[in-house]
């Protein structure tokens, strides 16, 4: 995995001052996501194109296991590894309530491409940071298998609902996680903090001149309009941007079994039709004669190949006779004129300024009253699909007073919460001291795994890494990450 240290000049510190001693194992690792504005713009455009089609196509991330991870009590009290600490939340305008718990405005979905190119999503939340730019989620929702490069086109969409991004899209610039998750695939460190760029939206399109199109640094495309041959000639005369495709080629006579051959009907005289054979082939009969009722004036004026006559009711008729003509279809040249379109983007500002940020807590005792949020979507092990993944859900209660092991994922100390949310809620925040009025609390965990503890085919517990001193250390490193505006005041892509 690529390593980086985020510039710390703005806070008067150097990377060397915060680096771990050579003899000590580091507690954190990090990776570039999309630090460059052009790459970030491209990632957002990928997800927002066609009215959010890719967002709606995405499915929830699923742990790479055929069975539900088994829980084993470690008997440990999950004692802190240092002094307890907290950083307070920030708030913005209120969000909409549901039942008796008001949903925080900070929660949303993260979207990314996994290593097989599948469109995936997890849950996440905005958290407090000095640069108002951090997202907390599960480590497996950012890093592939814990030890490869981070996922591609990673974005956070707060308030996501049915392909919509009401507060814009925030593209990941830098990701931070536990060293043990990165190096050993150890899910005791299954958490991540991602520094995101300013959010933005793609707000429409505008037709511009070719000169302005070439100078535009943002999203742009050429929209062709089909024109006639006369318009094409005029466009060329005026030195316009036009082009043609294909060539004028007549249809060729072929046999009826020639690949791609089509049959046309050809009107012939009555004697030719009667002499033609029945069946499939060149010059053979094309169905029965067609009798057309006409007026006497129309019949008198008719000079075609059909025969004139009348029916039993005295109506004037013209009878038409057709034979088959099997051809390889010809082609015609098409002409186009270029129209130059630019996409207009709008800067939404820093994530924390738009939706606020939850606080972060570490080294807190187990057994805390906790409210967990997420976007569950996967069916229960028994096949019941109780959730859609469209809207966020929540669970509330006290976490376990003892830590648990999950041997399948090298977990020695996870905290548990009784909850029926399924996969899709991965990465959703566990908030202690949650204020229903302010919609804020302190992130003291993120959903990592789902468990069927009573073996009835239903998820009944979720688990999280215990937020300890190592989490605080990773958070401290992420807290200094500096990110950028992606678009300028006129919707242009910034460099």
Q: Name which of 157-161, 181-185, 212-216, 317-321 the model is least confident about.
A: 181-185
* CA pair distance 139, 192, nearest whole angstrom: 5
Q: Measuring CA to CA, which residue among 167, 54, 27 is closest to residue 111?
A: 54
The pLDDT of residue 418 is: 95
Pairing of strands 404-406, 393-398: unpaired
* CA pair distance 454, 433, nearest whole angstrom: 29
Q: Are 316 and 54 in contact (CB under 8 A)?
A: no
The pLDDT of residue 95 is: 40
Helix H or strand E encompassing 301: helix 296-301
Helix H or strand E encompassing 334: strand 334-349
* CA pair distance 49, 395, nearest whole angstrom: 34
Residue 256 token pair: 């009826």
The pLDDT of residue 93 is: 40
Whether 493 has a pLDDT exceeding 70, the answer reads: yes
Q: Measuring CA to CA, which residue among 448, 357, 364 is closest to residue 156?
A: 357
Residue percentage of the chain with pLDDT more than 90:
57
Whether 194 has a pLDDT exceeding 90, the answer reads: yes
Q: Which residues contact 492 (CB under 8 A, 6 or more apart)?
A: 216, 217, 218, 345
Q: Average pLDDT, stretch 64-76?
A: 67
What does pLDDT average to over the chain? 85
> With a threshold of 0.85, does the pTM exceed it?
no
By three-state DSSP, how is residue 65 classified?
Answer: coil
Residue that wins the pLDDT comparison between 78 and 451: 451
Phi/psi at 396 (nearest 5 deg)?
A: -140, 145
The pLDDT of residue 219 is: 74
Residue 355 token pair: 């939706």
**Residue linked to tokens 């039942």:** 99
Q: Name which of 41-55, 72-86, 302-316 the model is least confident about.
A: 72-86
Residue 118's pLDDT band (cuts 50, 70, 90) = very high
Whether 372 has a pLDDT exceeding 70, the answer reads: yes
* CA pair distance 59, 447, nearest whole angstrom: 17
Whether 314 has a pLDDT exceeding 80, the answer reads: yes
Phi/psi at 200 (nearest 5 deg)?
A: -155, 165
Whether 358 has a pLDDT exceeding 70, the answer reads: yes
Residues of CATH 2.40.10.120 domain(s) within the chain? 9-198+350-479
* CA pair distance 374, 359, nearest whole angstrom: 17
Whether 99 has a pLDDT exceeding 70, the answer reads: no
The pLDDT of residue 399 is: 94
The pLDDT of residue 145 is: 67
The pLDDT of residue 182 is: 62
Residue 62's pLDDT band (cuts 50, 70, 90) = confident
* CA pair distance 245, 138, nearest whole angstrom: 51
Q: Which residues contact 79 (CB under 8 A, 6 or more apart)?
A: none
Whether 3 has a pLDDT exceeding 70, the answer reads: no
The pLDDT of residue 81 is: 65
| Residue range 9-198+350-479, CATH number | 2.40.10.120
Residue 109's pLDDT band (cuts 50, 70, 90) = very high
What radius of gyration do the chain's Cα atoms show?
A: 34
pLDDT tens-digit profile of 333-347? 999 999 998 878 889
Q: Average pLDDT, stretch 419-425?
A: 95
The pLDDT of residue 75 is: 60
pLDDT tens-digit profile of 377-403? 999 999 999 999 998 999 999 999 988
Residue 109 token pair: 């979905």
Q: Average pLDDT, stretch 235-244?
A: 87
Q: Name which of 140-149, 230-239, 281-290, 436-445 the model is least confident about.
A: 140-149
Residues constituting the chain = 495
The pLDDT of residue 41 is: 87
Q: Measuring CA to CA, which residue among 199, 206, 157 is closest to residue 41?
A: 199
Residue 139 token pair: 């480590």
Q: Are 401 and 415 in contact (CB under 8 A)?
A: no
The pLDDT of residue 91 is: 62
Whether 26 has a pLDDT exceeding 70, the answer reads: no
Distance, CA of 355 to chain centre? 21
Name the DSSP letter for residue 117: -
The pLDDT of residue 203 is: 72
Whether 162 has a pLDDT exceeding 80, the answer reads: no
Measured CA distances, 183 to 1, 27, 153, 382, 463 (Å): 9, 11, 23, 34, 21
């Amino acid at each position: 995995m690529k390593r980086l240290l985020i510039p710390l000049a703005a806070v008067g510190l150097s990377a060397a001052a915060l680096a771990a001693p050579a003899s000590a194992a580091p507690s954190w690792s990090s990776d570039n996501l999309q630090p460059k504005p052009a790459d970030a713009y491209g990632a957002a455009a990928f997800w927002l194109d066609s009215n959010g089609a890719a967002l709606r196509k995405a499915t929830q991330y699923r742990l790479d296991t055929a069975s539900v991870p088994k829980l084993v009590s470690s008997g440990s009290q999950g004692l802190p590894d240092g002094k307890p600490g907290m950083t307070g939340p920030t708030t913005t305008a209120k969000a909409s309530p549901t039942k008796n718990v008001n949903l925080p405005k900070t929660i949303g979905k993260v979207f990314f491409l996994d290593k097989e190119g599948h469109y995936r999503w997890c849950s996440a939340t905005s958290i407090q940071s000095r640069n108002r730019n951090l997202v907390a989620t599960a480590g497996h929702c950012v890093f592939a298998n814990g030890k490869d490069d981070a996922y591609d086109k990673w974005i956070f969409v707060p308030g996501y609902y049915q392909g919509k991004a009401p507060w814009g899209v925030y593209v990941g610039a830098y990701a931070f996680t536990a060293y043990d998750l990165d190096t050993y695939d150890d899910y005791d460190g299954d958490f991540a903090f991602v520094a995101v760029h300013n959010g933005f939206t793609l707000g429409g399109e505008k037709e511009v001149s070719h000169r302005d199109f070439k100078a535009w640094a943002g999203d742009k495309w050429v929209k062709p309009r089909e024109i006639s041959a006369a318009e094409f000639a005029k466009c060329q005369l005026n030195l316009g941007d036009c082009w043609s495709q294909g060539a004028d080629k007549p249809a060729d006579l072929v046999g009826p079994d020639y690949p791609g051959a089509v049959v046309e009907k050809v009107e012939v005289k009555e004697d030719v039709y009667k002499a033609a054979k029945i069946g499939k082939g060149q010059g053979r009969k094309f169905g029965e004669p067609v009798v057309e009722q006409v007026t006497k004036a129309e019949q008198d004026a008719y000079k075609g190949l059909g025969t004139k006559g009348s029916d039993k009711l005295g109506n004037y008729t013209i009878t038409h006779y057709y034979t088959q003509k099997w051809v390889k279809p010809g082609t015609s040249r098409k002409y186009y004129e270029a129209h130059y379109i630019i996409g207009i983007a709008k800067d939404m500002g820093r994530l924390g300024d738009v939706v606020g940020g939850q606080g972060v807590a570490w080294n807190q005792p187990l057994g805390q009253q906790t409210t967990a949020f997420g976007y569950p979507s996967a069916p229960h092990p028994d096949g019941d699909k109780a959730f859609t993944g469209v809207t966020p859900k929540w669970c509330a209660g006290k976490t376990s007073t003892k830590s648990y092991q999950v041997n399948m994922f090298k977990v020695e100390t996870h905290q548990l919460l009784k909850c029926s949310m399924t996969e899709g809620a991965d990465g959703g925040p566990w908030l202690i001291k949650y204020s229903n009025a302010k919609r804020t609390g302190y992130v003291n965990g993120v959903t990592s795994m789902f468990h069927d503890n009573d073996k009835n085919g239903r998820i009944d517990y979720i688990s999280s890494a215990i937020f300890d001193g190592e989490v605080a250390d990773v958070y401290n490193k992420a807290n200094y990450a500096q990110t950028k505006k992606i678009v300028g005041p006129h919707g242009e892509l910034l460099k």
